Amino acid sequence: MKAINIREFGAPDVLELVEVADPEVRPDDLLVRVYAAGVNRADLTHRTGGYGHPNFGDSLIIGLEIAGEVIGKGSAVTGFEVGDRVMGVVGGGAYAELARIDYRMAMHIPAQLDYVHAAAIPEVFVTAHEAMMHLARLKAGDSVLIHAAAGGVGSAAVQLAYATGATVYATTEGSKLARVEHLGADVAIDYKTQDFAEVIADKTQGRGVDVIIDFIGEPYFARNIASLARGGRLVQVGILGGGGNVTVALEDILYRHLQIIGTVMKSRTQPEKHAMIKRFREHWLDRFEGAGSLEPVVDSTFALARAADAHRRMESSENVGKIILTMQPDDLV
């Protein structure tokens, strides 16, 4: 099969289309003919050597998110058959014509979705649900501040928060404000021209918000703490702006009853990942069908052979929603 190989850690040009052996199917695996694969920030970190190792355990091939058709299955698989359309999160191996996936990490694709839009769901919506609904316990009537709201996880979080009945504050750059409002943000904040902490203080009459979902890290930390209401929960999902040391007054945490929670899917155990997929599937999967449904946000698509261009698009930070690789035969020449 054809797949993307990383010659060495480095710039996007190190990604190359090569011929490799088909993946070996284990008892708990589905073998999937991949038609679309999501590009994630973790892929950029992988490509540049940020994890310090060449794989995620399951494969030397890059990529964490697939959508395609089941063409084989292991002896222990239940709930899936050959011919099923599936999407899910893999432990590497997504940038390829064929991939194996633990069946407990797979979900059936809603009938109305094509493979490209299905590939825009698993990583970002599962992460958004885990951070905001499961860990931060967001509920109807709460308020939430979502940073990087035009990105993959951010755009998913805005939609889930809106569907839950929360008041949604969201930061993005000025050119993306209207798009974020379309997804469900009540107040969209241009982080380049506005201080989000000042906006939150003004809009909430000094109360603050119940939940903050942050991908930026150290540059936002102090203002995030200041923007939390009594009993507020800050969930740290990423550190795009830097992961250096931060300081916080313990009195704030103690007397304001604050919670600071970190979450990264990659470092979870397999049983924990299975539970994350199950929670999302049971709560939201049927909401991708029918009127008023959730919307997988696709920014752009690139043929598998143009994986380097897809990475450059993500590095530009100009995307709104997901960047998707496609594996149609004509794309592989």
Predicted pLDDT of residue 54 = 65
Residue pair 147/214 in contact by the 8 Å Cβ criterion: yes
Per-residue tokens: 112: 């109305």
Q: Does 219 score more than 70 pLDDT?
A: yes
DSSP string across 249-310? -HHHHHHTT-EEEE--STTS-HHHHHHHHHHHHHHHGGGGSSTT-----EEEEEEGGGHHHH
Q: What is the pLDDT of residues 55-71, one digit of tens each?
A: 667 888 999 999 999 99
Give the separation between CA 239 and CA 235, rounded to whole angstroms. 11
Mean pLDDT of 262-267: 85
- Sign of the four-CA dihedral 121, 123, 126, 131: negative
**What structural domains and CATH numbers belong to the chain?**
2-121+268-332 (3.90.180.10), 124-262 (3.40.50.720)
Average pLDDT of the residues in 149-163? 94
pTM of the model: 0.92
Q: Quick one: how far is CA 63 from the chain centroid? A: 13
Task: Locate 6 and state its tokens.
Answer: 């990383």
| DSSP for 305-333, written as a single string | GGHHHHHHHHHHT--SSEEEEE--GGGG-
Angle at 3 between CA 123 and CA 11, to 5 degrees: 75
Please write the tens of the pLDDT for every residue from 112-146. 999 999 999 999 999 999 999 999 999 999 999 99
pLDDT digits (tens, 9 = 90+) for 222-245: 999 999 999 999 999 988 887 788
